[in-house]
């Protein structure tokens, strides 16, 4: 059903596959919202998560996605696993693969780790975030949220603000949204803009938060990825908030029906003001719900042979 065995990023996923995932996710969301939350789409199948980095939303939503589709899962606690006895990533993955796992979800602080190891296992590998590179299911859930709020991606303007350099979320969104026909308006501190960002497809570089937000249909704040940052890239959190933060006044410059997005975790009063997180335009909680639906869709589509959506 999907061309590749694994979902490692959106850079190489064609538009038609993104559309298919979003359509299936729309259906899956009905299950997430239903009172019984039961479906047969992963019955007899198993998933394992292997997170070398912290997570709240991504890891739990994969677990819920698996359960809502009738599958079984195991989440390896890396901190108490044999990783601490020196076991390599490859040996750990091969061990998980040998349990008969159908899907392995991996997160690692180093860019490229899932790409290097996916060919060595039979299971379908889903990249749940590799360093600063990609976080495909996050961008898919962001796109699902946009799809549910707007008629079409064509001509949609999405402002992405803050620490672009260290954000795998920004990169996956740029790859995905540009394929769907949206424009991505970028603004952040010069020290937190990666080289070459301006050459990515459909990217428009902005000179201020105001310029990026004005006329945008969606405004996405990003967390400062302090865990990936060498010190001294920003003067202070307070200064960052003054120059790069979004509050309700700033959001009011966006289009009337604009939505506020954030992948979480939010640092209130840093990238977003305390109140704007919970304002009417905020879709942050909806993004979390959509995260379960998107992960259900991806797991379902990766493990189908050639059965078609009419099964749903
Ligand atoms: N949860 C997202 C990620 O893992 C964003 C973040 O951590 O700031 O990339």
165-189 pLDDT, tens per residue? 999 999 999 999 999 999 999 999 9
Higher pLDDT, 294 or 312: 294
127 CA distance to ligand 1 middle (Å)? 13
Give the model's confidence band at 308: pLDDT under 50 very low, under 70 low, under 90 confident, else very high: very low
160 CA distance to ligand 1 middle (Å)? 14
- Our mutation pick for probing the ligand 1 site, out of 60, 136, 138, counting the most ligand atoms within 8 A of Cβ, is 138
Residue 226: what pLDDT? 87
258 CA distance to ligand 1 middle (Å)? 22
40 CA distance to ligand 1 middle (Å)? 30
Give tens-digit pLDDT for 292-301. Answer: 999 999 999 9
Q: Return mean pLDDT, the chain.
A: 95
Residue 80 clears pLDDT 90, i.e. is over it = no
Give tens-digit pLDDT for 222-272. Answer: 999 988 887 778 888 999 999 999 999 999 999 999 999 999 999 999 999
Residue 234: what pLDDT? 86
Backbone angles phi, psi at 127, to 5 degrees: -80, 115
Please tell me the residue having the least CA distance from ligand 1 atom 8.
223
Q: Percent helix, strand, coil in the chain (nearest 5)?
A: 45, 15, 40
Q: Which atom of ligand 1 is nearest to the CA of 57?
A: 1
Distances (CA, A) of 207 to 176, 187, 213, 243, 261: 23, 7, 11, 11, 21
The reported pTM is 0.96
In this structure, are residues 25 and 297 in contact, taking their beta carbons and an 8 Å threshold? yes
44 CA distance to ligand 1 middle (Å)? 31
Give the model's confidence band at 311: pLDDT under 50 very low, under 70 low, under 90 confident, else very high: low
Q: Which atom of ligand 1 is nearest to the CA of 167?
A: 9
Q: Which atom of ligand 1 is nearest to the CA of 138?
A: 2
Residue 155: what pLDDT? 95
Ligand 1 site, CB within 6 A:
129, 135, 168-169, 223, 263-264
Residue 36: what pLDDT? 92
Query: Which residues lie below 8 Å from residue 62, measured CB to CB, with a gap of 6+?
Result: 47, 49, 73, 105, 126, 128, 295, 299
Distances (CA, A) of 259 to 21, 68, 103, 251, 287: 22, 28, 33, 9, 11
In this structure, are residues 164 and 194 in contact, taking their beta carbons and an 8 Å threshold? yes
Over residues 81-101, mean pLDDT: 93
Residue 300: what pLDDT? 98
Q: Considering the chain, what percentage of its residues have pLDDT values greater than 70?
A: 98
Residue 220 clears pLDDT 60, i.e. is over it = yes
Residue 1: what pLDDT? 79
């Amino acid at each position: 059903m999907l061309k590749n065995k694994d979902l490692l990023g959106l850079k190489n996923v064609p538009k038609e596959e993104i559309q298919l995932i979003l359509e299936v996710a729309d259906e899956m969301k009905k299950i997430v919202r239903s009172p019984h939350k039961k479906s047969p789409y992963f019955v007899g199948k198993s998933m394992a998560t292997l997170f070398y980095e912290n997570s709240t939303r991504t890891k739990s939503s994969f677990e819920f996605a698996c359960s809502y589709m009738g599958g079984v899962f195991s989440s390896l606690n890396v901190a108490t696993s044999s990783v601490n006895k020196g076991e390599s990533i490859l040996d750990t993955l091969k061990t998980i693969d040998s349990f008969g796992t159908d899907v392995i979800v991996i997160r690692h602080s180093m860019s490229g780790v899932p790409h290097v190891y996916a060919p060595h296992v039979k299971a379908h590998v889903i990249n749940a975030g590799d360093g600063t590179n990609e976080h495909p299911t996050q961008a898919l859930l962001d796109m699902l949220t946009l799809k549910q709020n707007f008629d079409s991606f064509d001509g949609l303007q999405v402002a992405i603000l803050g620490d672009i350099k260290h954000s795998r979320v920004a990169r996956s969104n740029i790859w995905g949204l540009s394929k769907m026909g949206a424009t991505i308006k970028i603004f952040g501190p010069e020290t937190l803009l990666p080289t070459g960002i301006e050459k990515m497809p459909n990217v428009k570089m902005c000179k201020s938060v105001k310029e990026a937000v004005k006329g945008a249909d969606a405004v996405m704040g990003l967390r400062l990825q302090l865990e990936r940052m060498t010190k001294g890239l920003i003067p202070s959190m307070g200064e960052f908030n003054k120059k790069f933060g979004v509050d309700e006044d700033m959001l009011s410059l966006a289009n009337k029906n604009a939505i506020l997005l954030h992948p979480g975790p939010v640092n209130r009063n840093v990238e977003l003001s305390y109140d704007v997180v919970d304002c009417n335009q905020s879709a942050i909680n909806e993004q979390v719900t959509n995260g379960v639906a998107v992960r259900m869709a991806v797991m379902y589509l990766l493990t189908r042979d050639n059965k078609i959506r009419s099964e749903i």
